[in-house]
Amino acid sequence: MPKLEVLEKYAKLAVEVGANVQKGQFVVVGSSTETKELARLIVKAAYKAGAKKVEVQWSDDYVARAGYDSMSIDTLKEIPEWSIDKAKYFIEENGCTIRITSPIPGLNAGVDPKKMQAAGIARMKSFKFYQDHMMGNHAQWSIVAAPNMVWAKKVFPDLSDDDAFEALWDAILEASRVTETNDPIEEWANHNKSMLAHNKVLNDYNFDTLHFTNSLGTDLHVKLVENHVWAGGGENSTKGVYFNPNIPTEENFTMPHKFGVNGKVVSTKPLNYQGNLVEDFWLEFKDGKVVDFDAAKNKETLKSLLDTDEGSRHLGEVALISYDSPISNSNILFLNTLFDENASCHLALGKAYPMNVKGGTKMTDEELLKANSNQSMVHVDFMFGNEDLQVEGILHDGSKVSIFVDGDFVI
């Protein structure tokens, strides 16, 4: 484990910059049993910041795996009323959320994908109101990461258990801008400033379409919705509290037109979905919809993701990150979207963030759909940036602006 003072800084960052816990606020911390040390420090930091009450939602992926093995599909689909009531209670209490992500890659290998899909759909349907609440920024939320041994060994297979664990902690802290000597709160104030400057440039152009090409075979036109908003860095909740949904974050992102995506995109990093790694895959879009796809590994997992619902074959996000950027330069494949998506241009299948269209957080589902904003129970990012990615912005008058040359921002 890193030094206690460093972990305390990280916990403070999650509380004060991530969720920006307000005095007297209710706080929900989501943690697996693998990350209990960090969860305890976050709880302490939240009380120190003035939280009224901190509730920890513990989970354990091994327990979940045992359930997938032994429960029937019908039982897996049962969502008890009390768990829904609990989520409603969190909303009523204006709870903000800090989730510690610590995936265990490969843990669900061999589970019947139908079981995982059925359980996932039942859960997502029942908790749609909660996802809408969070994705609509009605309360502050933030995701940070902490390692577990299996994950660490997957990222650093050549190191001993202890060294791998240590190395993953170091990589997470470094990517999150937490060091022994710095003040992460100040670092993040500066980082947010530069992210906002980039959003402004992109918003001022008001592109009609982005055109992506590279040597791997990506040739994709992504039309943006009218009145789209580029976001990245900190955001405001609808109650006016500034927070950072992701620690770390390096992306500037906006909303694709649900029916305006055409061409082919080739992935450049594996996708860890429901504990399975989908590798070397591509998707082909026509009028916004995935009409063809393939994967060298775990194609079934990709198929079950695409078949989740009507919106899971359409895009909900397009994000730009320079190839020459801190997490990308670390050259570490984290096998975790929170990090890998910040090392590479990416797209997300599924639900769009309402804030990526003007007035979106106040729109109903119908109004969002009218604005060509995709709706789905899922939001799954996948990476396609590489060192020779070219991005051209096409303006409404048809003229073109180079946004990326050879993998990096040029505007």
* Site residues, Zn ion (CB under 5 A): 251, 253, 317, 319, 348, 381
Least distance in angstroms from the C-beta of 316 to Zn ion: 7
* Bridge partners (DSSP) listed for residue 256: 224
Q: Using the minimum distance from each CB to Zn ion, give the nearer residue, 61 or 317.
A: 317
Least distance in angstroms from the C-beta of 381 to Zn ion: 4
* Distances from the Cα of 6 to the Cα of 99, 191, 225, angstroms: 19, 19, 42
Q: Using the minimum distance from each CB to Zn ion, give the nearer residue, 10 or 253.
A: 253
Least distance in angstroms from the C-beta of 318 to Zn ion: 9
Please report how the helices 81-92 and 128-135 are oriented relative to each other, as an axis angle in degrees rounded to 10: 20
Are 373 and 223 in contact by the 8 Å Cβ rule? The answer is no
Q: Using the minimum distance from each CB to Zn ion, give the nearer residue, 33 or 199.
A: 199
Least distance in angstroms from the C-beta of 235 to Zn ion: 12
- DSSP annotation of 343: G
Q: Using the minimum distance from each CB to Zn ion, give the nearer residue, 98 or 352.
A: 352
Are 353 and 135 in contact by the 8 Å Cβ rule? The answer is yes
Q: Which two tokens stand for residue 329?
A: 């330069």
Least distance in angstroms from the C-beta of 162 to Zn ion: 33
Beta strands per DSSP E along 267-377: 271-273, 276-286, 289-297, 315-320, 346-350
- In this structure, which amino acid lies at residue 261? V
Q: Using the minimum distance from each CB to Zn ion, give the nearer residue, 150 or 231.
A: 231
State the SS3 of 224-291.
ECCCECCECCCEECCCCCEECCECCCCCEEECEEEEEEEEEEECCCCEEECCEEEEEEEEEEECCEEE
Least distance in angstroms from the C-beta of 47 to Zn ion: 31
Q: Using the minimum distance from each CB to Zn ion, give the nearer residue, 54 or 315.
A: 315
